[in-house]
Amino acid sequence: MLRHEVIIVGGGLAGLRAAIELCDKYDVALISKVYPLRSHSVAAQGGINAALGNNPEGRDDSWEKHMFDTVKGSDFLADQNAVEIMCKDAPRAIYELEHWGCPFSRFPDGSIAQRPFGGAGFPRTCYSADLTGHVLLHTLFERAISKRLKVYSEWYVLSLVSDGSMCHGIVAFDLIRGEIVPILAKATLFATGGYGRVYYYSTNALINTGSGIGIAYKAGVPLKDMEFVQFHPTGLVGTNILMTEACRGEGGYLINRLGERFMERYAPKAMELAPRDIVSRSIQREIEEGRGFDHPLGKCVHLDLRHLGEKKIMERLPGIRRICLDFLGIDPVYEPIPVMPCQHYSMGGIDTNEKAETPLSGFFAAGECACVSVHGANRLGGNSLLETVVFGRIASHSIEAYLSERDVKPDEKLLEEERKKVEKKIERLTGGGKEKPAKIQLELSKIMSQYVGIFRTKDELEFALGKILEAKERYRSVGISSKKKHMNYELMSALELEFMLEVAHTIALGAYLREESRGAHFRRDKEERDDSKWLKHTVMTIDREGNPSVSYKDVVITRYPPEERAY
């Protein structure tokens, strides 16, 4: 058994930002299923929002205007107290990152460059070419390592240990040594990212299974707003690799088969810089109505950057050009990019308040795995990276307050009991069951993309729920081919599949029950937003039989009452 005062699960931006703050006072360990520099935060491309007012077209920007854009973009489901905290803190967070060595792109006067992003009234997205997540992650990792942070790489968390009221630590799997290890902690923070691989078409890395969300749910921690799934409008056809919103922020066009800039039909003012939910639905409609392209790798529309010129593309979007050359053999300087909408981000997640606290004492969550909620029904591009650094820091302050206010004594016996349960689960999986985890996961992801996607109906969601329940029943018969634990990725896939099934169940059920359209949740049979019945958060907990128990709670509205959302 290992012991640390604070355990942070997840090596991305939220986890590292919390670790930096806590390392000076506590014995902190960070657990990551990959080497932290391979965390999915590294794949973020376009930028991070803050009302700095550096862009000549954004001199009048302010945190209040950033807040309004965020609340409007959320379709008024975001908790406005949390949004205010994030937007007020954004400039400080950016300058802190700059002082720590983050190489932001610059304007000629030396100030941090800012560009337009979707749903924003001002160009407030700070960036480093199209590698923003990459440079942010390296900056924070270097800072954390300088503070001698203990890192356990290639460790998978399999269980959150709770007595129903307090968190006592975790049970983890050391993949390299093939050992199940209980880790006792006074405070535990999950910063485990999203669940993209629950969907077939996703911009997310293979590591984004949503297991952290599922583990918390299985431990009795509530999940919030799981039905709200963001689809990015521009995934590279065939591979689903993200073509950053910065492509459109820098002036890129979306073109259909008829040569039209079709966004004029759907968002005549914002055009290509409408919020992501609107642009994704618009592209999908163009494809469904026969105005898309029939690419050998799938139906798509074109993202056209050619008019930007080689110099601007190489300065602002070099990574995008490289991806297009490497994966499709096309050069966006001379050819349009074939794109299609793909699952991208999870607005829902572990239910937390504005202090990153959960209802389980000693357990905290931050970043994409958490639902504060600052994104509500739809996240604006550039706000996710901001959320990680702002609420990662806030989580560290909450953990410090928690530990300073009480004498926390985790129970070793509970951890040992949980370790035995995990061992039994692994014994069952290695016992030769007839079902293969890869097959169930593939079928699950296709069901989610087809029936719980950009457009939804009651009948489709009911069908999806039935298939998910069938998959959960089939999971009881899952078996893997090798009993060895050392570097057994099939075993890890089988273990994570259990949590993926729970995450998929909560998404589909929340979507089935929410009889309205709001943000990224669009019901073809209920196309209007209904504030009289549905201006509320969906909350799900697991009951004693292992089924979701659904309740609702009010949205926090402080400054901006709901209004029509038009662009």
Contact between 241 and 339 under an 8 Å Cβ cutoff? The reply is no
Taking only the tens place, the pLDDT of each residue in 425-452 is 999 999 888 999 999 999 999 999 999 9
Question: Beta 337-346 vs 179-190: how paired, if at all?
Answer: unpaired
Contact between 189 and 21 under an 8 Å Cβ cutoff? The reply is no
**pLDDT reported for residue 432:** 82
Q: Helices 383-405 and 80-99, interaxial angle, to 10°?
A: 100
β-bridge partners, 298: 295
Contact between 107 and 382 under an 8 Å Cβ cutoff? The reply is no
Buried b (16+ CB within 10 A) or exposed e, 155-173: bbbbbbbbeeebbbbbbbb
Report residues of the chain scoring pLDDT below 50.
none
Give dist(CA 526, CA 385) in Å, integer: 32
DSSP state of 251: T
Taking only the tens place, the pLDDT of each residue in 485-535 is 999 999 999 999 999 999 999 999 999 999 999 999 999 999 999 999 999
Give dist(CA 297, CA 541) in Å, integer: 40
Give dist(CA 463, CA 35) in Å, integer: 39
**pLDDT reported for residue 162:** 96
Give dist(CA 155, CA 251) in Å, integer: 42
Largest CA distance in the chain: 68
Tokens standing for residue 340: 């299609």
| Chain center to CA of 484 | 32
Residue 61: exposure state from Cβ atoms within 10 A (0-12, 13-18, ≥19): buried
Give dist(CA 233, CA 231) in Å, integer: 6
> Is the full-model pTM beyond 0.95?
yes
Give dist(CA 129, CA 137) in Å, integer: 15
**pLDDT reported for residue 431:** 86
Give dist(CA 525, CA 428) in Å, integer: 43
Sign of CA dihedral 28, 347, 38, 304: negative
Which of 17, 276, 281, 321 is an active site residue? 276
**Is 106 a residue of the active site?**
no
Give dist(CA 214, CA 118) in Å, integer: 31
Taken in order of first residue, the domains within the chain and their CATH numbers are 232-341 (3.90.700.10), 426-533 (1.20.58.100)
Q: How far is CA 532 from CA 290, 380, 526, 538, in A?
A: 36, 25, 14, 15
Give dist(CA 213, CA 347) in Å, integer: 12
Give dist(CA 242, CA 405) in Å, integer: 44
Contact between 116 and 123 under an 8 Å Cβ cutoff? The reply is yes
β-bridge partners, 75: none
Give dist(CA 205, CA 62) in Å, integer: 34
